[in-house]
Amino acid sequence: ETIGITMVSVTPTASGGAVDTWSISPSLPNGLSFGSSNGTIYGTPTVISTSAEYQITASNAGGSGTAKVTIQVNDVAPNTIIYSPTSLSLTKAATMSPLTPSVSDGAVIAWSISPALPTGLSIDISTGTISGTPASISSIASYTVTAQNTGGSAQAYLTIEILEAPPSSITYVPGSFTLTKGTPMQSVTPTASGDPVDNWSISPTLPAGLVFDNSTGGISGTPSV
């Protein structure tokens, strides 16, 4: 049965003599009732309960007979799961803002995600919150989040990509040059934090005779003016 939903009443049949009284043990889950005159089980369960066995006894002047039934009251299944946003573009080594879902209907007792999240990210199996610090780059991929309780499950869908950490702390040593026309300069190459740099550029254009390396950021050459 499902909490809050009226069950279809169940009335037993019995062979032999007419039954005078019916009884049940242990007591039914809250919201369900037992008819002592006809053995009917009916009502609307108001609490969740695990599977349990109940013994029904039919009695008359000649004696009694018993039967057993099993009753479980499930929660209402989760309905709509909402993550906002549903598409995440994260940066390697940058801690993401935790992303917590909202759920309509039944309370969720377990969360899971498939496939596994990128390294450094995790999902809280009790709340569905996704958090962490990505440890490596990954192309955009789709993920399915499942929320489950005793009544069933519901799913939500996310996309996640992990981008390279941008260059930072770019340093030339020295950072100032006083050069002489016609005299080759000592070439200098910068250092940078973050993921490897794909391309370098400079603005404005260097003085004539000097060269800027777009693959390394190096400056070299012999000034001619």
Give the mean model confidence (pLDDT) for residues 210-217.
97
Write down the pLDDT at residue 216. Answer: 96
19 pLDDT band (50/70/90 cuts)?
very high
15 pLDDT band (50/70/90 cuts)?
confident
> 86 to each of 40, 117, 205, 216, how far by Cα in Å?
49, 14, 43, 38
> 113 to each of 51, 79, 89, 123, 142, how far by Cα in Å?
28, 17, 18, 7, 10
Please tell me the pTM assigned to this model.
0.75
The rounded percent of the chain whose pLDDT value lies above 90 is 91
Write down the pLDDT at residue 14. Answer: 86
69 pLDDT band (50/70/90 cuts)?
very high
Looking at the predicted structure, is the pLDDT value of residue 194 above 90? no
**What average pLDDT does the structure give for the chain?**
95
Q: Point out the least confidently predicted range of 14-18, 78-82, 195-199.
A: 14-18
Q: Point out the least confidently predicted range of 11-25, 29-43, 200-214.
A: 11-25
pLDDT digits (tens, 9 = 90+) for 102-158: 999 889 999 999 999 999 999 999 999 999 999 999 999 999 999 999 999 999 999
Write down the pLDDT at residue 35. Answer: 94
Looking at the predicted structure, is the pLDDT value of residue 16 above 90? no
For residue 171, what are the β-bridge partners?
A: 191
Write down the pLDDT at residue 98. Answer: 98
Neighbouring CB atoms inside 10 A of 131's CB total 17
Give the mean model confidence (pLDDT) for residues 209-218.
97
